[in-house]
Structure formats: C-alpha cells, structure tokens
Amino acid sequence: MNRFFKSIEYVEEHLYEPVTIHDIAKASSYSAYHFSRIFKSLVGDSPKEYLRKRRLTVAATRLLKEDTSILDLAIQCQFESQEAFTRAFKQLFSMTPGQYRKEQDPYRLIYKDQFSPHMLHHLQNSLEMAPSIITRDAMKTVGIAMRYNNEDLDLKKLWSAFRPYKDSIPNRVGSDVFGIYEEYQESDEGNEFTYVCSVQVSDYSDIPQGMVQRDIASQLYARFDHKGPIASLEDTLKFIWGSWLPKSKFEYVEKPDFELYAAGFNDANPENVLQIFIPIKEK
C-alpha cells in the first residue's frame, strides 16, 4: 500500500504536467499493466480516468475561487484546447465550465477527491460496492420535512429531533424509518433540497399537526449497504454518484431517493448498516 500511495502522491504533484500511465506506475515500482489492474480494483477508476477527474475537480474548484480564464485553466490542466476541456468538463459535471462558474458548485459530490488510505478503508470495510438491484413496492410515509442546502444538513442532529415523535405517529407500519431526499433545486446559496424524516403508514388518517405525507411509488432501485457512522455517509455517496452510477448500465430516475434505518440503529455502533436506495432505470 505504501508503494501504491506513492503513485497517488505522484499524480497530485504533477497535475499540471504531462503524465503517462508509465510515469504513474513507475512511481510505485509496478509495471504499467500490473499497476493498472491494481489501481482499477482499489480506486474504481483507471489511472487515466482518475487523473482526468482529479484535473477536472481541481479546475472546478479554481473556477469558483479564481478569475483565471477558462482557456488558461484548460492549458494548465493539460487539455489540448478549450474545446477539449469543455467537453470533458461537461461530461463529468453535466454543464460547461462557464455555467459551472455561474451556478457556484452544485455538483460537489461528483468531485474526485485525492484517493486516501481512509477512502480505501471505507470502500473495503464500510460499503457493499456492488448494489442489489431491486424493485420496492409503493408505500405511504408520514414525517417532518425541512429545507436544507448541502452545507447545512446535519443528519445526526435531524434524527435526534425526530426520534421522540416517530413512535406516536398513527397507523405506523413496521419499525423502519426513512430519510427521503426530494425537490433538488440550484440557487445562489448552493444545491437546496427537502429532507423528510419519516415512517411508513397504512393510511393518511389522523396525521399529526406539522407533519407531511409522502407517497413513494413502486420503483426499481440500486440498494447500497453503508456500514458505520452517518459521518462517513458522504464518502459512500461520492462513490455512488461519482463512480458507480456513471459506469453502470443504469441511469438516475428523477424521483426521491432515500435512506432506510432499521429498528435499533445506533450511530455509535460501527457494525450498524443503513441502506441507500437510488431510483434507476436501464439506459
């Protein structure tokens, strides 16, 4: 692993220089062929993909913090032209560099952060990287809805506030609780959305004051199992949105995605598993 991470350090030190797969492999004393197989299995991207995404991530950050022209940024990040840079940028972030600068970072979860021992440990020990593809039946839910942006959301605090109310909701079905993400919107303040702490119910009679109802239609999902604390959930989400989904044979369906917390979930227990359901369809 020490040899492997020398190659990661090499990439970071040469983001603004011409780099080949042979250069990266040499930094860790592997052959290019053997290194490529190891790299892909550990990181989820080929060395070439990883280098491209790291350059685009650095470029995305600089677009928001600096007045550097897009052409200069493209050349510095080793793209042969502004057109080539724009194509690659749009492929990763679904918008041009100019639009990205205007929108102010709506795709932070797609950033390709520098691969680290922490990420390796998370992928190997805290995440079932191959999801289960399942269809869930429709369900009715009742809960408390709040509006957030990415920076404000504190899941641990949110669930602590909802916990005293969940067992008193009439017509409750089962013991699971659901965290539903919906209504994504981009604004000057960032990426805003509604998060609903909820439980399943059999019908909507006698909804407590201040609570909302949500119908979740029958849908095909990719279900990921995240093991460990909520604090590391963002690492799992980065993998799902930035690595797994773009390479899968599925695409995201614009319907609510949600987390399922089983009865007895305790954030302090490193063996706890929460399930993440991403609505999908085949491409």
Q: Could you state, in chain order, the average pLDDT of each consecutive group of 10 residues for the chain (283 residues)?
A: 88 94 88 73 81 94 92 96 95 90 70 82 74 96 83 75 90 95 58 84 94 95 90 81 81 88 85 92 93
Q: Do residues 113 and 45 make contact, with C-beta atoms less than 8 angstroms apart?
A: no
Instruction: Show the CA angle centred on residue 242, arms to residues 9 and 192, nearest 5°.
Output: 120
Produce one character per residue of 14-41: b if its CB has 16 or more CB atoms within 10 Å, e if not: ebeeebebebbbbbbebeeeebbebbee
What pLDDT, on a 0 to 100 scale, did the predictor assign at position 36?
78
Using CA atoms, how far apart are residues 132 and 130, in angstroms rounded to an integer? 7
What pLDDT, on a 0 to 100 scale, did the predictor assign at position 185?
56
Using CA atoms, how far apart are residues 48 and 19, in angstroms rounded to an integer? 9
Using CA atoms, how far apart are residues 168 and 155, in angstroms rounded to an integer? 21
Using CA atoms, how far apart are residues 95 and 78, in angstroms rounded to an integer? 20
**Domains of the chain as residue ranges with CATH:** 2-106 (1.10.10.60), 132-282 (3.20.80.10)
Q: How many helices and strands in the chain, by DSSP H and E?
A: 11, 9
